[in-house]
Amino acid sequence: MADQVPGRRRQLSHDVAVSEEAMNEAKKAQEHLNSFFKKVSEQGIIPVTGFEQEEKINKKLIEQLKQDIGKFEKGWNEAEIQLQEKNKAFVDLLEIRNYHLQHISTLENAVKKFQQDIEDRDRTIISLGNDLQSLSKEHYDLKSRFSKVADHMLPDQNPDIADLSDPNRAMKLSDKFGALYDDAWTDAFEDLTDKQKQKPNEAIQFLLESLKECWGMCKKEAEKWMNSLQSVFLHPVQDIDAISKMQGGKPAVRLGSKDQRVIRDACRKIAPTVGVVVNQCFIMKMKKKQKLSDDCLKYLEGCVDVCWLMALAEPPLYIDFNIKKGDKFDPNRHTAYSESGETVEFLVWPPLYNAEEGGGMLSKGTVSTERKVGRPPKK
């Protein structure tokens, strides 16, 4: 459309020029005719009327030419206005085009920068990945070295240091000991008092004495088992006479602390398996004393399971039965069985410690208390 405007403009210019030239020629002709008619009229040669009629015709032609020129001028002006509008639109389009070209250039530069950033980040990620692998390997090596060093540096039988990978560590055994009292002890107590019609104090005493006897047996058997295993490891040759001759009066071979630790660790790992035999022996012993209900058997089996593991713990845990009637009630060591009093009436359930000497308390015991009766005033 913009290309057609100059052509139309040239055509209009040409038409206007032709019209103006024709109009000028017509004017000259009219002037010539007027002069001629005037002379003729003055001389009386031709009637004026014929000339006047022709003059009128020429005037109409001139008027028609003027109208045509006016139309051409109007068309010219309109074309000029359209041309100006098209030129303005063209200029606006050029500005828009230049703006978008500049914006495209900016975006292309941004894309190049982003691509460069992505490449830099990819290189950084690869570098960090390599660093991570290196650090992971270094961490694993240090962890292995630290574990070995810790195994050598940790003092044996330290109750304050727990092996978190041990499923039978002190806190876990304390939980089992508490669950034994909450569940199996309660069921056995209800069976003894409700079904067998024993007095509550007698039932409590039976359950406590059974636990105490079980604990004593487990400690004794665990010590014997540990000593026998150490003896087997120390004496692969079981011929006593041959051993005596080889030693020739020399001191007996002793296992170092590391070797003893290996044996103790092995014992703890297989303790649940061999504990079945200990359980059977204790139940058989208790059955010889009296007839046992299912709830009581379940309680006694639970006593063996937890006591056997506690006796083989490193160091062995400690159940404190040393409490007697009349002792002052200590809320830091025991909880009251029913009503809280000032002195101990009897022990219901013993407290558990992390070790026999210097070990922290793992769980409180339970005692039945009574009010302290004061002396009557002197009369």
pLDDT in tens, 279-331: 999 999 999 988 899 999 999 999 999 999 999 988 889 999 999 899 999 99
Q: CATH number of the domain at 317-379, out of 2.40.10, 1.10.10, 3.30.1560, 2.30.22?
A: 2.30.22
Cα separation, 171 vs 362, in Å, equals 7
Cα→Cα distances 152→64, 149, 355, Å:
127, 5, 21
- Crossing angle for the helix pair 200-234 and 257-289, to the nearest 10 degrees: 140
Under the phi-then-psi rule, with left for phi > 0, alpha for psi from -120 to 50, and beta for the rest, what region is 304?
Answer: alpha
Cα separation, 195 vs 266, in Å, equals 43
Query: What is the four-CA torsion angle of 110, 112, 114, 120, rounded to 10 degrees?
Result: -150
Query: Who wins on pLDDT, 272 or 3?
Result: 272
Cα separation, 205 vs 213, in Å, equals 12
Please choose, from the candidates 348, 52, 58, the residue with its C-alpha nearest in 3D space to the C-alpha of residue 185.
Answer: 348
pLDDT of residue 375: 47
pLDDT digits (tens, 9 = 90+) for 184-229: 999 999 999 999 999 999 999 999 999 999 999 999 999 999 888 8
pLDDT of residue 204: 96
pLDDT of residue 72: 80
Cis amide bond preceding 315, omega within 30: yes
Tell me the mean pLDDT in the region 147-166: 55
Q: Report pTM.
A: 0.56
Sorted by sequence, the CB contacts under 8 Å of residue 258 that are 6+ apart come out as 152
Please choose, from the candidates 312, 242, 307, 233, the residue with its C-alpha nearest in 3D space to the C-alpha of residue 270.
Answer: 312
pLDDT of residue 377: 45
pLDDT digits (tens, 9 = 90+) for 90-139: 899 989 999 999 999 999 999 999 999 999 999 999 999 888 988 888 88
Q: What percent of the chain has pLDDT over 90?
A: 41
pLDDT digits (tens, 9 = 90+) for 12-45: 667 667 667 777 777 777 777 677 667 656 665 5
What is the edge-to-edge ordering of all strands in the sheet holding 343-349? 334-336, 365-370, 343-349
Residue 304 near residue 279, CB atoms below 8 Å: yes
Q: Is the pLDDT of residue 166 over 90?
A: no
334 phi and psi, to 5 degrees? -135, 160
Write down the domain spans for the chain: 4-130, 170-313, 317-379
Residue 240 near residue 337, CB atoms below 8 Å: no
Q: Is the pLDDT of residue 145 over 80?
A: no
Residue 316 near residue 356, CB atoms below 8 Å: yes
pLDDT of residue 287: 93
Q: Work out the pLDDT band at 379, boundaries 50, 70, 90.
A: very low
Query: Who wins on pLDDT, 160 or 140?
Result: 140
Please choose, from the candidates 291, 356, 345, the residue with its C-alpha nearest in 3D space to the C-alpha of residue 319.
Answer: 356
Specify which residues 367 forms β-bridges with: 336, 347
Highest mean pLDDT out of 11-20, 51-60, 115-124, 249-258: 115-124
Cα→Cα distances 370→105, 127, 189, 326, 366, Å:
95, 74, 21, 9, 13
Q: What is the mean pLDDT of the chain?
A: 82
Q: Work out the pLDDT band at 60, boundaries 50, 70, 90.
A: confident
Residue 185 near residue 349, CB atoms below 8 Å: yes
